[in-house]
């Protein structure tokens, strides 16, 4: 009887230690999870990158339901850290930023088509022209004051 009670006590201690061990593993990491969508539809197979505090990077991908999970070591991404999540699929991408709160932080984001090269060129030309115009105006004004 004494042996049976000792065996039962040992089994309880081992199982409690296993639960505490898994809780310890969860406490040593920061999880960032969410869903990637496009036009409110889940995006499967998107590449997801998480950047914690601008220096710790973790990669992942979305499953068939658009869900992702990024696991950061707690030492590099503690509570209160800033996480930037970027998702890409083809020419579409999206970004969301949040703060690590608790063991799991949820950051959903939508991806959009960002391929508009002609607008980038047009914007550059307009900015350059504005800069030259301002420079010319400032020189003329200075010469008029002299």
Kindly report, residue by residue over 113-132, the tens digit of the pLDDT: 865 555 566 667 677 777 77
Is residue 20, in this structure, part of any structural domain at all?
A: no
Mark whether 131 and 59 lie in a shared domain: no
Whether pLDDT at 8 is above 50: no
Whether pLDDT at 38 is above 80: yes
Mark whether 93 and 50 lie in a shared domain: yes
Question: 141 is written with which tokens?
Answer: 């004004």
Whether pLDDT at 3 is above 90: no
Please, are residues 46 and 61 in contact by the beta-carbon 8 Å criterion? Answer: yes
Question: 86 is written with which tokens?
Answer: 């970027």
Mark whether 110 and 52 lie in a shared domain: yes
Which residue has better confidence, 14 or 131? Answer: 131
C-alpha–C-alpha distance, residues 143 and 104, integer Å = 63
Q: How far is residue 83 from each of residues 19, 79, 134, measured CA to CA in Å?
A: 29, 11, 39
Which residue has better confidence, 50 or 6? Answer: 50
| Residue 123 structural domain | 117-146
DSSP bridge pairs for 92: 89, 113
**Residue 136's pLDDT band (boundaries 50, 70, 90)?**
confident
Mark whether 110 and 123 lie in a shared domain: no
Mark whether 41 and 107 lie in a shared domain: yes
Please, are residues 119 and 86 in contact by the beta-carbon 8 Å criterion? Answer: no
Please, are residues 66 and 44 in contact by the beta-carbon 8 Å criterion? Answer: yes
Whether pLDDT at 20 is above 60: no
Average pLDDT score, the chain: 80
Which residue has better confidence, 64 or 102? Answer: 64
Give the number of domains in the chain: 2
Query: Pairing between strand 112-113 and 41-42?
Result: unpaired
Whether pLDDT at 24 is above 80: no
Question: 71 is written with which tokens?
Answer: 């696991």
Mark whether 131 and 144 lie in a shared domain: yes
* pLDDT for residue 46: 97
């Amino acid at each position: 009887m004494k042996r049976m009670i000792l065996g039962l006590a040992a089994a309880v201690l081992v199982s409690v230690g296993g639960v505490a061990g898994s809780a310890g593993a969860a406490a040593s990491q920061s999880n960032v999870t969410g869903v990637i969508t496009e036009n409110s539809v889940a995006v499967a197979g998107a590449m997801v990158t998480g950047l914690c505090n601008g220096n710790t990077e973790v990669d992942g991908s979305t499953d068939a339901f658009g869900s992702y999970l990024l696991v950061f070591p707690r030492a590099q991404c503690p509570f209160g850290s800033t996480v930037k999540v970027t998702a890409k699929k083809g020419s579409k991408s999206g970004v969301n930023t949040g703060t690590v709160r608790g063991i799991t932080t949820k950051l959903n984001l939508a991806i959009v088509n960002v391929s508009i090269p002609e607008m980038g060129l047009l914007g550059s030309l307009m900015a350059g022209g504005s800069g030259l115009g301002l420079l010319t105006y400032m020189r003329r004004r200075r010469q008029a004051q002299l």
